[in-house]
Amino acid sequence: MVVLAALAGPVVLFLALLVLTDGAGSGLPAGLTTLGIATVAALWRGRRRTWPGRLVPFLPVVVAAAVTASVCLPTVPTTRRYPPALPFVATQHWRLATGSRVAVYHYPPAHAGTRHPIPLVYLNGGPVRAISVLDHRFLQLLARQGYDVYTYEQAGGGRSDLLPMGQYTISRSVRDLAAFVDRLGKGRPDILGFSSGGAVLTRALADPRVAARLHRAIIAEPGPMDGPTAHLAGHKGRESARGLAPTMTGPRSTSTPRYAAAFGLMRLGLLTPDNGLIGQAEGDNAFTAADLGSDTASAYCARDAHRIPVEDTAQNFSFSPAASLRVQQTVTDSPSLAPRLRHSRTPAMLMIAECSSQVRQWETAVLAGDPAIRRTQYMPGVGHHMWNGLDDNSERAVAVVTAFLQDKPAPLPNYPTRDEIPAFLRAHK
């Protein structure tokens, strides 16, 4: 027991100092202080011992040195390593009026004869990550229906340039959307926002200056739109594949002590996103798809647990954990959006999945708060990632999206309506 305490002591001290200093200096001040304390303690404890007994107290010194070396030394580049170009679509870079430099992708209508006059802009989830190959395939399906499709990776995500950590806010994301529409210069586009992109779109609808730039809005599987919504307790959809799917294979940054400590402490809120242990670029370079763990499985129904598709390639995958946490925190800290959302007049549709991993109250809060939502489409047989390439799921999502944009009858019942929210929640659907 004494030996175990001697070995664990330097680790606990190091982590405590790491938290107290917010990882300053890549963790070296915490590591060197731990090493110094362990060395002084070893010299004090060994002063009256005979050789070789004097070496025993130095075991914690060895542990302190090992911990310092493994946590304080980077193992990936510390400058941003952007994903290579995609082979099937050109990457453009646009400088927006907000100062953000974002990666832009364009899928023109596949057939000129069926071209729809209003462009469609897609806002991906993340909130700060690359657009997955699976999502690109979905956008290609929409282009084959005659839509002029544009999308961009939000600032800091994928091939878009990084921002200073303090500039990652939900408000900045909304301003970037408005600036992107202005830069596009094609009148008022339709917007499809998925997951955290749906939260950005919801907040845009509550801002009259931004909403005036939009034609129609589709809010798909939204995250929380504001602080009060983020704090709502409630249930999720039908059972997802979380805990049922095979463990995701591939390299994990969290198998390295440096990144396990950094990402773990950030997730617990013990290190700030702008901590001094790892910089934003290094964290982006280190994070892998396997680090998402069961989060990916949670986006699929339990029945699909053993056939979850590969969403992305290792070369294209990019996720910024620190920037994402920072954006999420600004949502949690924001006041209620409801008073402003009640004035929304932009025609909108809400899409929710049967096996959604989102808290239902996040979704129903949008439905209750936005009087301009004209229809809700409850998508059976799919999880959070509704257009997933399995069976005809992507085609069904396309049918729902295009029917609304063309003001045609909905393929599915309008459910739940605003009046049906209490019964919908009681049914735990």
Point out which residues pair with 353 in neighbouring strands.
379
Q: Quick check: is 275 in a domain?
A: no
Same-domain status, 19 and 124: no
| CA distances (Å), origin 381, targets 390, 419, 426 | 10, 24, 20
Q: Kindly state whether residues 36 and 102 are assigned to the same domain.
A: no
Same domain membership, residue 152 and residue 13:
no
Same domain, 227 and 368: yes
Q: What is the pLDDT along the chain (429 residues), one digit of tens a residue?
A: 555 656 788 899 999 999 999 999 999 999 999 999 888 887 777 666 656 655 556 788 888 899 999 999 999 999 999 999 999 999 999 999 999 999 999 999 987 678 899 999 999 999 999 999 999 999 999 999 999 999 999 999 999 999 999 999 999 999 999 999 999 999 999 999 999 999 999 999 999 999 999 999 999 999 999 999 999 988 999 999 999 999 888 889 988 999 999 999 999 999 999 999 999 999 999 999 999 888 899 999 999 999 999 999 999 999 999 999 999 999 999 999 999 999 999 999 999 999 999 999 999 999 999 999 999 999 999 999 999 999 999 999 999 999 999 999 999 999 999 999 999 999 988
Neighbours of 49 (CB within 10 A): 12
Q: Which domain CATH number covers 106?
A: 3.40.50.1820
Residue 86 lies in a domain: no
In the β-sheet with 92-95, what is the strand arrangement from edge to edge? Answer: 92-95, 101-107, 149-153, 120-123, 190-194, 217-220, 348-355, 373-383
Structural domain containing residue 22: 2-72
Q: Give residues with Cβ within 8 angstroms of 110, minimum separation 6.
A: 143, 144, 146
Domain check: are 53 and 186 in the same one?
no
120-123 vs 373-383, strand pairing mode: unpaired
Task: Tell me the whole-structure pTM to 2 decimals.
Answer: 0.94
In a domain, 18, yes or no: yes
CB-based contacts of 109, cutoff 8 Å, min separation 6: 115, 116, 143, 146, 147, 148
Angle (CA) 254-256-259 rounded to 5° is: 60
Please tell me the total count of domains within the chain: 2
Q: Is 185 left (phi over 0), alpha (psi -120 to 50) or beta?
A: left
Indicate whether 230 and 201 sit together in one domain: yes
Same domain, 101 and 31: no
Identify whether residues 108 and 184 lie together within a single domain: yes
| Maximum C-alpha span of the chain | 92
Closest CA to 355 of 250, 211, 243, 221: 221
106 domain residue, yes or no? yes
| Packing angle of the helix pair 28-46, 2-20 (nearest 10 deg) | 150
